[in-house]
Amino acid sequence: MGANDPLNKSLEEIQKDKLQAEINLINARIRKVYPESKPAGKFSHVADFFKKWYAVILALTAVFGGFWGIFAPVKSYFSERNKAVQYELNANMIDAMGKLDSADLNVQGNAIMILSYYDLNAIPIFLDKLVKIDYDDKISQQKYIEAINLIYKRKRTEIVDKIISKMDYSFKQISAEPTFTLALLNLSFLVENLNMVRRDRRNVIALYKTMIEEFDKDSTLMEMDGMLPFKESITRFVNNN
């Protein structure tokens, strides 16, 4: 019997022959349905691309799938960790707020520094404290102004709008409650020392011009303690800008 006699072939060789015969049959059917002379279809280029690159695509899919399998739990971990940090910071925030009124300037300064990390959330706190500081207490004033300036550089969103709103409210209440004069003086000092962008500076000037007009209409405003330096301050700001 010859070497090609089926009886002399191993089971593995027979299986290979069977597989090859099936491949030949499939190829024959493909050539019958899709002859080589058939014009290329509109998706032929896409099909050729995937034939050439399907192995690469599958490999990349596997890599990114594996990456997502690692990334998802890591993302979940950091999300949970962030919640825990936020809780800890809130506790620190409450503690720092209680130290803003400390007679120890170092304790007060540290509290202001801690709160400054809260960015926009610290602005209302700083403004409420700033408007109540003795106008001659330049050290405390400067600490709050420096902190607000730092936040302003990082997060400008609506900070000056909040200052304008507080100043406008204080100015409208001045006739009924002269104590708002202190708030106006401190806020104007803040504005003078805040490194504002052009848009915010224009908004402040618009408010100041309205206030100056009110001074001109109502002479009694100038009779209140502290209003002369306030008017001089806002007039100087308008003239210099």
CA angle (78 as vertex; 72, 84 as ends), nearest 5: 140
pLDDT of residue 234: 94
216 vs 32: CA distance, rounded Å: 98
Answer for the pair 132, 182: CB distance below 8 angstroms, yes or no: yes
In a domain, 18, yes or no: no
In a domain, 24, yes or no: no
In a domain, 106, yes or no: no
Q: What is the pTM of this model?
A: 0.60
* Residue range of the domain that includes 227: 121-240
**Domains in the chain: how many in total?**
1
* Sequence-ordered list of residues with C-beta below 8 angstroms from that of 127, at least 6 positions apart, any chain: 148, 162, 163, 166, 187
| Average predicted confidence (pLDDT) for the chain | 77
Tokens of 193: 């020392």
pLDDT tens per residue across span 78-125: 555 455 445 455 777 788 888 888 888 888 888 898 888 888 888 998
pLDDT of residue 24: 66
Answer for the pair 159, 126: CB distance below 8 angstroms, yes or no: no
Query: Residue 111, SS3?
Result: helix
Report how far apart, in Å, the C-alpha atoms of 176 and of each of 6, 18, 89, 169 are.
114, 103, 40, 12
- Which alpha helices (DSSP H) does 34-158 contain, by range? 44-98, 105-116, 123-130, 138-154
Answer for the pair 140, 133: CB distance below 8 angstroms, yes or no: yes
In a domain, 126, yes or no: yes
In a domain, 131, yes or no: yes
124 vs 120: CA distance, rounded Å: 8
Tokens of 14: 């027979």
pLDDT tens per residue across span 140-175: 899 999 999 999 998 888 899 999 999 999 998 887
In a domain, 52, yes or no: no
Instruction: State mean pLDDT over 203-232.
Output: 90
Residue length of the chain: 241
**Which of 1-15, 184-198, 203-217 has the least mean pLDDT?**
1-15
pLDDT of residue 77: 47
